[in-house]
Structure 1
Amino acid sequence: MTLRSDWLPALAAFEAAARHQNFAHAGEELHLTASAVSHHVRKLEARLGVMLFQRHARGVSLTAEGRRLADASGNALAELEDVLSGLRTSQGDGERVRVTALHSFTTAWIVPRLPDFAARHPDIRISFETEIALTRFDDQGPDLGVRHGPGHWPGLSAQRLLEEPLFPVASPALAGVDRIADPADIARLPLVGDLSRHGWSDWFRAAGVRGARPMERFTFSDSTDMLEAAAHGLGAALARRLVVVPWLASGRLLRLPGPELPSRYAYFIVHPSHRPLRPAARLFAEWLMDMAADALPGR
Structure 2
Amino acid sequence: MALRADWLPALAAFEAAARHQNFAHAAEELHLTASAVSHHVRKLESRLGVSLFQRHARGVALTPQGRQLADSAGTALADMDGVLRSLRVSRQETDRVRITTLHSLAYTWLLPRLSEFTNANPKILLSLDTEIALARFDEGGPDLGIRHGGGHWPGLTSHHLMDDALFPVASPTMPGIERITEPAQIADLPLIADHARQGWHDWFRAADVHGRKLEERYTFSDTTDAMMAAAHGIGVALAREQIAVPYLRSGQLVRLPGPSMPARWGYYAIYPAHRRLRPAAQSFLDWLLAVKKD
TM-score (normalised: structure 2)? 0.68
Decide whether aligned partners of structure 1 residues 116 and 174 sit closer, same or farther in structure 2, where only a CA change above 3 A counts. same
Q: Does residue 122 of structure 1 match 2:116?
A: no
The equivalent residue for 2:254 is 254
What is the deviation of 1:289? 0.8
Decide whether aligned partners of structure 1 residues 214 and 88 sit closer, same or farther in structure 2, where only a CA change above 3 A counts. farther
SS of corresponding position for 2:97 = strand
The equivalent residue for 2:183 is 183
Provide, for residues 217-269 of structure 1, a one-character-per-residue CA deviation record: whole Å limited to 9, x for no partner.
11011100000111111100000011011111111111111110110101111
**Within-5 A mapping of 1:4-19:** none
Which residue identity lines up with residue 168 of structure 2 in the other structure? Answer: P
Q: Which runs of 5+ in 1 are unaligned?
A: 1-85
The equivalent residue for 2:150 is 150
What is the deviation of 1:174? 1.3
What is the deviation of 1:131? 0.3
What is the deviation of 1:92? 7.4
Task: For 2:99 and 2:147, locate their aligned partners in 1 and report how far apart those are by CA, in whole Å.
Answer: 11
Task: For 2:130 and 2:99, locate their aligned partners in 1 and report how far apart those are by CA, in whole Å.
Answer: 9
1:89, 1:95 within 8 Å by CA — same for their partners in 2? no
Decide whether aligned partners of structure 1 residues 91 and 131 sit closer, same or farther in structure 2, where only a CA change above 3 A counts. closer
Q: Which one has the largest radius of gyration?
A: 2
Decide whether aligned partners of structure 1 residues 158 and 88 sit closer, same or farther in structure 2, where only a CA change above 3 A counts. farther
RMSD of Structure 2 on Structure 1 (CA): 1.6
What is the percent sequence identity of the aligned residues?
54
Q: Which runs of 5+ in 2 are unaligned?
A: 1-85
Decide whether aligned partners of structure 1 residues 94 and 144 sit closer, same or farther in structure 2, where only a CA change above 3 A counts. closer
Task: For 2:183 and 2:142, locate their aligned partners in 1 and report how far apart those are by CA, in whole Å.
Answer: 42
SS of corresponding position for 1:243 = helix
**Within-5 A mapping of 1:78-97:** 89=89, 95-97=95-97
2:94, 2:280 within 8 Å by CA — same for their partners in 1? no
Task: For 2:278 and 2:89, locate their aligned partners in 1 and report how far apart those are by CA, in whole Å.
Answer: 13
The equivalent residue for 2:132 is 132
1:94, 1:125 within 8 Å by CA — same for their partners in 2? no
1:160, 1:267 within 8 Å by CA — same for their partners in 2? yes
Task: For 2:261 and 2:242, locate their aligned partners in 1 and report how far apart those are by CA, in whole Å.
Answer: 13
Which residue identity lines up with residue 228 of structure 2 in the other structure? Answer: E
Aligned length: 209
SS of corresponding position for 1:242 = helix
Which residue identity lines up with residue 115 of structure 2 in the other structure? Answer: P
SS of corresponding position for 1:244 = helix
1:94, 1:123 within 8 Å by CA — same for their partners in 2? no
The equivalent residue for 2:51 is none
TM-score (normalised: structure 1)? 0.67
